[in-house]
């Protein structure tokens, strides 16, 4: 222990020189998902600095201990910076810390994952107009190589998302304010990569009692569909049973 003897907590804290200890070298990365053009997309940023300058990476950055009160604050700050909106759903996924993931040495990142509706998102670019983009995710992967261990992190995030979609109402956070059950079902199907029987799906969602009719109908193509919105439950619903899935 690098600090001198102390007999009371007060004494100890007084003797403790905070400046001797650098702020923790921790980053926060957020896997931001949306559903766009009939497929799952993730928000990626082009790195402006080494290491991995020019590579695409997840949205993240260092914790600013002078302004962020908590890790979640850091995630939210970065998220707002890049998307300009508050996310309706943010969950801590995992923390990865080891000696290899950063060429500069031991590093730690806490990973969050966020779900946001694709509608009306104004991407805020930093320097250029092309440094932040929605990228299609196929089979847990994106086309271009990612910085650090972000490809692994992305793949685990997608797995977690898929898994949770089997027993929760999470996809609702990917929907706009109001939506039809058919649209919601499509989003479930896109994430799961599998069609769902619509009778089962409607029964499941409707008996969970998390939605309410807006009173409006959506008139696209043929028969108009009833519009729903999330009741202000806020909390996601957990079903007691999984959708039967290609596990």
Q: How far is the CB of 114 from DNA (least distance, A)?
A: 26
Contact 62, 15 (CB under 8 A): no
Burial 180-199 (b: 16+ CB within 10 A, else e): bbebbbbbbbbbbeeebeee
- Residue among 64 and 209 whose Cβ is closer to DNA: 209
Contact 109, 97 (CB under 8 A): yes
Helix (H, G, I), strand (E, B) or coil at 49: coil
Residue pointed to by tokens 């409006």:
216
**Binding status of residue 107 toward a copy of itself by CB under 8 A:** yes
Q: How far is the CB of 74 from a copy of itself (least distance, A)?
A: 8
Helix (H, G, I), strand (E, B) or coil at 179: strand
Strands 59-62 and 89-98: unpaired
Show Cβ contacts of residue 87 under 8 Å, excluding neighbours closer than 6 positions.
Answer: 32, 76, 79, 114, 115, 116
Contact 177, 243 (CB under 8 A): no
Binder to a copy of itself among 152, 177, 216, 244 (CB under 8 A)? 244
- Residue among 10 and 37 whose Cβ is closer to a copy of itself: 10
Hey, what are 204's tokens?
A: 């499941």
**Binding status of residue 233 toward a copy of itself by CB under 8 A:** no
Within 7-26, which residues bind DNA (CB under 7 A)? none
Contact 178, 227 (CB under 8 A): yes
231 contact, one of DNA, a copy of itself, none, CB 5-8 Å limit per kind = none
CA dihedral 47, 53, 57, 63 (to 10 degrees): -60
- Residue among 65 and 119 whose Cβ is closer to a copy of itself: 65
Contact 218, 225 (CB under 8 A): yes
**Binding status of residue 97 toward a copy of itself by CB under 8 A:** yes
Within 208-247, which residues bind DNA (CB under 7 A)? 217, 219-226, 239-241, 243-244
* Angstrom distance (rounded) from CA 191 to CA 39: 8
- Residue among 69 and 219 whose Cβ is closer to DNA: 219
53 contact, one of DNA, a copy of itself, none, CB 5-8 Å limit per kind = a copy of itself
Binder to a copy of itself among 38, 65, 86, 220 (CB under 8 A)? 65
Binder to DNA among 68, 180, 214, 237 (CB under 7 A)? 180
- List residues binding a copy of itself (CB under 8 A): 1, 6, 9, 12-13, 16, 18, 21-26, 49-53, 63, 65, 69-71, 92, 94-100, 103-108, 110, 240-242, 244
Note the residues at the interface with DNA (CB under 7 A). Answer: 180-182, 196-204, 207, 217, 219-226, 239-241, 243-244
């Amino acid at each position: 222990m690098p600090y001198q003897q102390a007999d009371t907590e007060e004494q100890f804290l007084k003797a403790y020189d905070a400046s001797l200890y650098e702020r923790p070298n921790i980053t926060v990365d957020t896997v931001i998902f949306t559903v766009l053009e009939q497929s799952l997309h993730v928000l990626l940023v082009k790195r402006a600095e080494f290491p991995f300058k020019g590579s695409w990476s997840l949205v993240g950055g260092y914790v600013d201990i002078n302004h962020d009160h908590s890790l979640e604050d850091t995630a939210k700050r970065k998220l707002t910076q890049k998307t300009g909106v508050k996310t309706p759903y943010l969950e801590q996924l995992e923390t990865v810390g080891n000696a290899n993931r950063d060429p500069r040495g031991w590093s730690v990142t806490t990973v969050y994952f966020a779900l946001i509706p694709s509608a009306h998102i104004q991407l805020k670019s930093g320097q250029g107009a092309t440094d932040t983009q929605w990228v299609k995710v196929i089979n847990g992967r994106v086309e271009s190589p990612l910085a650090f261990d972000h490809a692994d992190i992305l793949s685990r995030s997608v797995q977690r998302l898929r898994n949770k979609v089997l027993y929760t109402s999470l996809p609702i956070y990917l929907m706009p304010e109001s939506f039809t059950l058919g649209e919601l079902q499509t989003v479930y199907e896109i994430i799961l990569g599998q069609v769902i029987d619509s009778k089962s799906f409607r029964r499941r969602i409707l008996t969970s009692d998390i939605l309410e009719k807006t009173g409006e109908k959506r008139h696209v193509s043929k028969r108009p569909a009833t519009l729903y919105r999330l009741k202000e439950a806020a909390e996601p619903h957990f079903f007691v049973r999984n959708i039967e899935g290609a596990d």
